[in-house]
Amino acid sequence: MILFPLSATDAFKKLGAALSMRIAAEALAGRALRRGDDADFESSSIKRYGKTLAGLFLLNYSEKLWGIPCSRLSAEASGGRLKGMNLKTVVAAALGLRGATEHMDGDFYYPDGGISAILEAMADFIGRENIRLNSTVTGVRADSGAIAEIEVNGKPVESAAGVVSTIPCDEFVRMMTPATPPGVRDAADSLKFRDMILVALFLDVESVSGSATIYFPDFKYPFTRACEPRNRSATMSPAGKTSLVFEIPCSEDDAVWKRSDDEIAGIVVESLSATGLARKNDILGCAVRRMKRAYPVMEIGFEKPLRIVMDYLGGFRNLRIAGRNAEFHYSWMHDMISRGKSIAGDIRAGRGGEDGGA
Ligand SMILES: Cc1cc2nc3c(=O)[nH]c(=O)nc-3n(C[C@H](O)[C@H](O)[C@H](O)COP(=O)(O)OP(=O)(O)OC[C@H]3O[C@@H](n4cnc5c(N)ncnc54)[C@H](O)[C@@H]3O)c2cc1C
């Protein structure tokens, strides 16, 4: 395992002198690398990090994650995660000239009890009686340039003053009446999403690694990464035990999606055993969850259909679109919370709904 972002001694020891020298040589040739086009993820990664570094850590991982070759991915597929990180800063960190995390997004706080603690706290603030669970929006009726009514669980129940939608934008377009113009529908249909299977293994060992996340860029592993939640917060596992949560990016059309939970867990266990990180005998139990539309796929050219969809939805005066799949933008939880706060501020200020409120 190699520490990432790279650290001087670790990288030199694990990658070996020859590879480290090659990475350094590519850094020195940085000027030449800056030439060329960076419209796609592959060329922009090579330009920023050099062929060796990009090949080792980024391109194979991204291809597994997105399910298409990096040459067909938009440069935006990095999701801003590697913002401020370039070959120079990576090499500077590798040589110990600057802190290993200085060029990353910074440090994160993680709540005791896991990420859902944030949502539970929000629910307490909002008041649970104001939140309806198991209520799927199945239809949206527009009238005179505004959203007039929404249908929940197949029943037209709500008249809408203001609507903030986190529904994936293509689904939203498809559920509208009157039907959206064919050009908008076609544009929405062309937007693609990546699904994901999460496999949690509960282990009878105190710790597997010191890392919050371990990445597996190699194609021989079916998963892209595994997180060890107790390394984010000790409350995530009982004393003396830990867990690993694996991510298997896929499409719901893939064979793996259709396999039984036991079969999927079995595949992960076999692969994990091969890494030597944990033994089969240490596994106390497992849980498998399928997540549709985990990521919007930023394939080259996605901007044009997306603009058609957003321009259309932007034409409804009491509608706001917010969220990763709703806006078709590779954004993060903190972005969503910030967006939610900004929309709530607008609504409070009377800029949110048909009659100024929502
Ligand atoms: C495996 C994984 C790991 C991640 N790790 C991180 C991380 O470490 N840090 C980070 O910042 N981000 C992380 N993310 C990203 C983060 O989860 C998303 O950016 C964030 O959840 C997006 O928020 P959202 O509100 O857009 O979407 P969501 O959280 O998906 O919320 C959308 C909501 O809309 C609801 N909805 C959709 N359709 C309907 C409908 N028809 N009717 C009613 N309700 C509907 C859904 O049920 C859902 O509650 C991760 C994502 C995944 C998949």
What is the CA(326)–ligand 1 centre distance, in A? 10
Name the closest-CA residue to atom 44, ligand 1. 136
Q: Which residues line ligand 1 (CB under 6 A)?
A: 136-137, 166-167, 196, 247, 291, 294, 323-325, 331-334, 336
Q: Whose CA is nearest to atom 49 of ligand 1?
A: 166
For residue 331, which atom of ligand 1 is closest to its CA? 19
Residue 358 reports pLDDT greater than 50: no
Give the model confidence (pLDDT) of 17-45 as tens digits. 888 788 778 767 765 555 556 778 898 88
pLDDT at res. 14: 86
Q: Model-level pTM?
A: 0.88
Task: Indicate if the pLDDT at residue 289 is higher than 50.
Answer: yes
The confidence band for 278, taking pLDDT boundaries of 50, 70 and 90, is: very high
Q: Check pLDDT > 90 for residue 15.
A: no
Closest protein CA for atom 36 of ligand 1: 167
Coil, strand or helix: which one is 337?
Answer: helix
Please choose from 81, 197, 215, 324 the residue to mutate so as to test ligand 1's pocket, defined by most ligand atoms within 8 A of CB: 324
Q: What is the mean pLDDT of residues 330-343?
A: 91
Distance CA 312, CA 314 (A): 5
pLDDT tier, 183 (very low <50, low <70, confident <90, very high otherwise)? very high
Q: Which domains does the chain have, with CATH numbers?
A: 8-94 (no CATH), 116-191+302-348 (3.50.50.60), 192-296 (3.90.660.20)
Average pLDDT over residues 323-350: 91
> Which of 34-48, 74-88, 149-163, 280-294 has the lowest average pLDDT?
74-88
Q: Estimate the share of the chain in helix, then strand, then coil, as percent rounded to the nearest 5.
A: 40, 20, 40
* 294-302: average pLDDT: 94
Nearest CA to ligand 1 atom 52: 294
Q: How remote is the CA of residue 122 from the centroid of ligand 1, in Å?
A: 15
Atom of ligand 1 nearest to the CA of 333: 11
Percent of the chain past pLDDT 90, that is, above it, reads 65
What average pLDDT is seen over the chain?
Answer: 87
H helix intervals, the chain: 8-28, 30-33, 41-49, 51-54, 60-66, 87-94, 116-126, 169-174, 182-189, 255-258, 261-275, 303-314, 333-348
pLDDT band at 356 (very low <50, low <70, confident <90, very high): very low
The span from the CA of 251 to the CA of 258, in Å, is 10
Residue 151 Cα to ligand 1 middle (Å): 22
pLDDT of residue 347: 86
